[in-house]
């Protein structure tokens, strides 16, 4: 079986419809996986299997991931299911129960440089696997090594991983996840799986908010498994290449449907093995917490916190709302003659927009020649989205008009200090682009 992918990291949040680095957000997911094994290989060549061996693995996994903020997240997953081995010349054998419990933590290096524009996300993760998997040993013929049916490795293990997510376009990103499964010790059946590497090259397409489609190629390489008494097992391990497709589809504000599938197109196994024919996954993910449940709605009452304290202390400054509810506007309508005008595109679902709002209000309070004009983006399908983000986009996003109303700059910046420096530089600069 494939080692688990890292828990957490920005690719998790991106595939569930959360762009950027979530904070205070929790995802609960329940997924069902079906894997079917029906082909016999010796190396990379198909061979006859007179016994007609088939293996079906059904696994239901409950997972939770919490994003602490500042790039940190942690999570846990617990699978349970059924593995059934059948052959034409005998009754099926099966094992049912729990899989291996896994806990993990991750840190996204993008928190150091800001996840705006084309800046990449580099998420580092470390998982710990606990030996909770149900296992059964079958020995129909004493002359042949026994077969072990298992819902997991059944050993302790470490899974370090790294995931690069690189935006290529407002609606397209490249994801490169890589993890290594390192088993520690032997299971209670006396076996230890080989060290395995799992990677992929995926293209993510986000046509609309919270709609994500994924296509790519997955790679898996696993060393020989071993037994305490006999050493390496010849018929174990190998290399697999798989075509991957997946989608995340919003059902409700907090509920997302997940579907994916994999089909191997190249396999080169060690010895003779029954290999997979296909894998299909489906599930639901529920999110709660984060910016929305903290009632960060830009101007309404809030529970007191660092962001709100910064905003509530600012009563001065030229700050106005110029568009709400997805309505659009023209630059000529909002430009303030004689002042540098900053148009702040924000949304209720954009947590970094909260911090941008505080910085802009602070600058406006201390700088009379600065005007802040706030424009609410419901989504990119409303008039404001079609006019200012025709190819989609990401928030926060700002436009800067010079003192004559001409466009001086257009950029995204979520880092407060970098934003202050940038706005102050525009206040000193007269030109337009």
pLDDT digits (tens, 9 = 90+) for 72-122: 899 999 999 999 988 877 778 888 999 999 999 999 888 787 655 577 889
Q: Rg of the chain's alpha carbons, rounded to an integer?
A: 27
Cα separation of 409 and 333, whole Å? 17
User: Mean per-residue pLDDT for 392-399?
Assistant: 84
Proportion of the chain in helix, strand, coil states, percent, rounded to 5: 15, 50, 35
Contacts of 141 (CB under 8 A, 6+ apart): none
- Strands 212-222 and 226-227 come out as unpaired
**Cα dihedral sign, 107-110-112-114:** negative
Lowest mean pLDDT segment, chosen from 60-69, 257-266, 313-322: 313-322
How confident is the model at residue 186, as a pLDDT? 93
Closest CA to 284 of 308, 310, 252, 313: 252
State the pLDDT confidence band at 345, using cuts at 50, 70 and 90.
very high
Continuous segment of H or E residues that includes residue 388: helix 383-388
**Strand, coil or helix: 110:** helix
| Range with the poorest average pLDDT among 153-167, 286-300, 355-369 | 286-300
Other beta carbons less than 10 A from residue 381's beta carbon: 13
pLDDT at 23 exceeding the cut of 50: yes
Q: Please state which of the ranges 50-64, 161-175, 180-194 shows the lowest mean pLDDT.
A: 161-175
Give residue-wise pLDDT tens across range 113-170. Answer: 765 557 788 999 999 999 999 887 765 544 445 567 788 889 999 999 999 998 887 6
Binned at pLDDT 50, 70 and 90, residue 41 comes out as very high
Average of per-residue pLDDT values in the chain: 83
The whole-angstrom separation of Cα 431 and Cα 351 is 32
Q: Please, what CATH class does the domain formed by 10-291 belong to?
A: mainly beta
Domain ranges within the chain, ordered by starting residue: 10-291, 298-427
The pLDDT-based confidence of 22 (bands split at 50, 70, 90) is low
| Residue 336 pLDDT class (50, 70, 90 cuts) | very high
Answer yes or no: is pLDDT of 295 > 50.
no
Class of CATH domain 298-427:
alpha beta
Mean predicted confidence (pLDDT) in 340-361? 90
Residues in the chain: 433
- Rounded Cα distance between 235 and 39, Å, is 14
When comparing pLDDT for 7 and 309, which is higher? 309
pLDDT of 313 above 80: no
**CB-based contacts of 168: which residues, under 8 Å, 6+ apart?**
118, 174
* Residue among 3, 387, 11, 271 at smallest CA distance from 162: 11
Most confident of 75-79, 138-142, 299-303, 315-319: 75-79
Residue 253: its pLDDT value, please?
A: 74
| pLDDT level of residue 5 (50, 70, 90 thresholds) | very low
- Per-residue pLDDT, 418: 82
The pLDDT value given to residue 243: 98
Q: List the structure tokens of 272.
A: 């003779």
pLDDT of residue 278: 96
pLDDT score for 373 = 95
Q: Which of 278, 277, 273 is nearest to 49 (CA)?
A: 273
Residue 300, pLDDT score = 36
How close are the terminal C-alpha atoms of the chain, in Å? 56
Run of H or E including 334: helix 331-334
Under the banding of pLDDT at 50, 70 and 90, the label for residue 362 is very high
Q: State pLDDT tens for residues 199-255.
A: 999 999 988 767 889 999 999 999 999 988 888 989 999 999 999 999 999 888 788
| pLDDT for residue 412 | 83
* Contacts with 177 (C-beta within 8 Å, 6 or more apart), sequence order: 5, 6, 11, 161, 162, 163, 198, 199, 200, 202
pTM of the model as a whole? 0.67
User: What's the rounded mean pLDDT across residues 342-346?
Assistant: 94
Is the per-residue pLDDT at 430 higher than 80?
no
């Amino acid at each position: 079986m494939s080692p688990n992918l890292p828990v957490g990291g920005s690719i998790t949040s991106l595939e569930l419809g959360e762009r950027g680095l979530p904070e205070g957000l929790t995802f609960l997911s329940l997924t069902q996986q079906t894997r079917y094994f029906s082909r016999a290989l010796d190396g990379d060549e198909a061979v006859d299997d007179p016994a007609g061996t088939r293996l079906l693995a059904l696994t239901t996994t409950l997972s939770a991931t919490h994003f602490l903020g500042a790039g940190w997240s942690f999570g846990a997953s617990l699978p349970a299911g059924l593995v059934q081995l059948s052959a034409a010349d005998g009754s099926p054998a099966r094992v049912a129960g729990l899989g291996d419990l896994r806990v993990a933590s991750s840190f996204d290096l993008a928190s150091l440089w800001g996840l705006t524009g084309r800046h990449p996300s580099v998420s580092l993760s470390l998982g710990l696997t606990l030996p909770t998997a149900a296992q059964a040993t079958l020995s129909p013929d004493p002359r042949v090594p026994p077969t072990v049916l298992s819902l997991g490795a059944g050993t302790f293990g470490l899974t370090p991983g790294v995931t690069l997510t690189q935006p290529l376009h407002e609606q397209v990103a490249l994801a490169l996840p890589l993890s290594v499964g390192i088993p520690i010790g032997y299971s209670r059946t006396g076996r230890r799986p080989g060290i395995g590497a799992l990677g992929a090259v995926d293209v993510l397409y986000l046509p609309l908010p919270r709609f994500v489609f994924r296509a790519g190629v997955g790679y898996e390489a696993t060393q020989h498994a071993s037994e305490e008494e006999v050493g390496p097992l010849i018929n174990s391990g190998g290399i697999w290449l798989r075509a991957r497709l997946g989608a995340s589809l919003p059902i409700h504000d907090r509920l997302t449907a997940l579907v994916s599938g994999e089909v191997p197109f190249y396999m080169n196994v060690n010895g003779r093995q029954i290999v997979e024919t296909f894998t299909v996954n489906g599930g639901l993910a529920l999110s709660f917490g984060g910016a929305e449940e903290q009632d960060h709605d830009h101007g309404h009452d809030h529970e007191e916190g660092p962001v709100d304290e910064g905003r509530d202390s600012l009563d001065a400054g030229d700050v106005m709302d110029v568009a709400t509810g997805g309505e659009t506007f023209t630059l000529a309508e909002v430009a303030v003659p004689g002042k540098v005008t900053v148009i702040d595109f924000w949304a209720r679902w954009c947590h970094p927009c909260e911090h941008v709002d505080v910085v802009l209000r602070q600058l406006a309070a201390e700088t009379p020649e600065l005007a802040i004009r706030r424009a609410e983006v419901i989504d990119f399908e409303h008039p404001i989205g079609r006019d200012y983000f025709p190819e989609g986009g990401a928030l926060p996003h700002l436009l800067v008009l010079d003192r004559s109303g001409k466009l001086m700059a257009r950029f995204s910046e979520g880092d407060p200090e970098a934003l202050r420096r940038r706005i102050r530089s525009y206040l000193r600069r007269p030109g337009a682009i």
